[in-house]
Amino acid sequence: MDMRIANRLSCILENDKMFAPQYICQVLEKELAPIIENFLVTKEHIKVRYKKENLKNIFFIEFEAERIKPIGYIPY
Q: What is the pLDDT of residue 33?
A: 94
Please count the helices (runs of H) and the strands (runs of E) in the chain: 2, 4
How do beta strands 40-42 and 56-62 pair?
unpaired
Q: What is the pLDDT of residue 62?
A: 96
Give domain limits for the chain.
3-68
Distance CA 69, CA 76 (A): 16
* pLDDT over 80 (residue 65): yes
The most distant pair of C-alpha atoms in the chain lies apart, rounded to whole Å, by 53
The residues pairing with 57 across neighbouring beta strands, listed in sequence order, are 52
- At 2-52, the pLDDT tens digits run 678 778 777 777 776 566 788 889 989 999 999 999 999 999 899 999 998
Q: What is the pLDDT of residue 13?
A: 72
Q: What is the pLDDT of residue 14?
A: 72
49 in Cβ contact with 62 (< 8 Å): yes
Q: How far is CA 22 from the centre of its chain?
A: 13
